[in-house]
């Protein structure tokens, strides 16, 4: 729920509004946010997919070092397709194998996805040298319920990694493609009408200092594991 009591993921809500003219508060209804349509791919790429831009919603002014990241998302019955163009003046990673702690090793592109109103979700990483990480989480912060004990990190890892990716240098940085099969979400196929929550994030490593973080989600604080703030999308023909 957001701070006004409305649900960001498709339910109608109620807002308490103060009127400067009457000096009274009143209740008003507001419509649910539109689910972004994700087109079906006709060429097994995300070239003509829905477009997303990574930002820094937790602050009023973006970091001077923030580099543009543009993402496209499309689908086929077999897989979700992702393409990302990451501008970068200093592409770097020390990753040497899959399922390492990529965010501590340099640049990394991250994908968070959750089907409908399910509690569980996946977190997927790709580095500039195409090393990958695959996590399956039972819920936010690795908890199956609010009062549950978090699952140990090692038990969240999926081995071998269950999605395909490519990573290659680009004129102004690097580029990622991903094919995420339906089996990653434990469903047989994807179909029109299916709703998901998605978030694309980035750690842009710096030679000195802290990495520059960005996301497509509506996070008021730097915390990527907040599914209720991710973007709601719907697969369409």
Interval 104-123: pLDDT, tens: 999 999 999 999 989 999 99
What residues have CB less than 8 Å from 200, skipping those under 6 apart? 52, 54, 69, 71, 82, 84, 109, 110, 111, 112, 215, 216
Q: Are residues 55 and 69 in the same domain?
A: yes
pLDDT (0 to 100) of residue 145: 87
Same domain, yes or no, for 14 and 109? Answer: no
Mean pLDDT calculated for residue range 47-53: 97
CATH of the domain at 232: 2.60.40.1190
Q: What is the reported pLDDT for 53?
A: 98
Strand partners, 235: 38
48 has pLDDT over 90: yes
Residues 38 and 23 in one domain: no
**Strand 121-126 to strand 50-53: parallel, antiparallel, or no bridges (unpaired)?**
unpaired
Residue 13 and residue 94 in one domain: no
The number of folded domains in the chain is: 2
Residue 27 sits in the same domain as residue 39: no
- Say yes or no: 93 and 8 in one domain: no
**Range of the structural domain that residue 14 is part of:** 1-33
The pLDDT of residue 146 is: 85
Same domain, 97 and 2: no
Shared domain check, 219 and 166: yes
- In order of 2, 98, 178, 201, 203, the CA distances from 141 in angstroms are 19, 21, 24, 16, 19
Domain shared by 69 and 143, yes or no: yes
94 in the same domain as 2 = no
pLDDT at 9 over 60: no
40 and 21, same structural domain?
no
Residue-level pLDDT at 34: 65
Q: Name the pLDDT band for 207 (thresholds 50, 70, 90).
A: confident
Comparison of pLDDT for 207 and 145, the residue scoring more: 145
Query: For a pLDDT cut of 70, what percent of the chain falls above it?
Result: 86
- CB-based contact 205:107 (threshold 8 Å): yes
pTM: 0.85
pLDDT exceeds cutoff 50 at 12: no
The verdict on 168 and 64 lying in the same domain is: yes
């Amino acid at each position: 729920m957001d701070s006004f009591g409305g649900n960001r993921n498709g339910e109608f809500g109620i807002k308490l509004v103060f009127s400067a003219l009457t000096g009274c508060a009143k209740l008003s209804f507001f419509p649910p946010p539109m689910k972004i349509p994700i087109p079906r791919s006709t060429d097994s790429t995300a070239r003509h997919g829905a477009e997303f831009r990574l930002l820094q919603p937790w602050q009023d002014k973006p970091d001077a070092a923030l580099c543009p990241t543009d993402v496209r998302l499309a689908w086929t019955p077999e897989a979700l397709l992702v393409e990302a163009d990451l501008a970068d003046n200093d592409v770097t990673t020390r990753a040497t194998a899959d399922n390492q702690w990529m965010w501590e090793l340099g640049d990394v592109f991250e994908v968070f996805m959750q089907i409908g109103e399910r509690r569980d979700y996946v977190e997927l990483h790709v580095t500039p040298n195409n090393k990958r990480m695959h996590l399956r989480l039972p819920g936010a912060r690795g908890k199956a319920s609010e009062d549950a004990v978090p699952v140990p990190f090692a038990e969240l890892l999926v081995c071998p990694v269950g999605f395909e990716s490519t990573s290659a240098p680009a004129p102004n940085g690097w580029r990622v493609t991903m094919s995420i099969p339906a089996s990653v979400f434990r469903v047989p196929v994807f179909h029109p009408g299916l709703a998901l929550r998605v978030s694309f994030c980035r750690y842009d490593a710096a030679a000195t200092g802290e990495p520059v973080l960005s996301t497509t989600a509506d996070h008021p604080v730097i915390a990527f594991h907040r599914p209720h703030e991710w973007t709601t999308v719907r697969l369409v023909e």
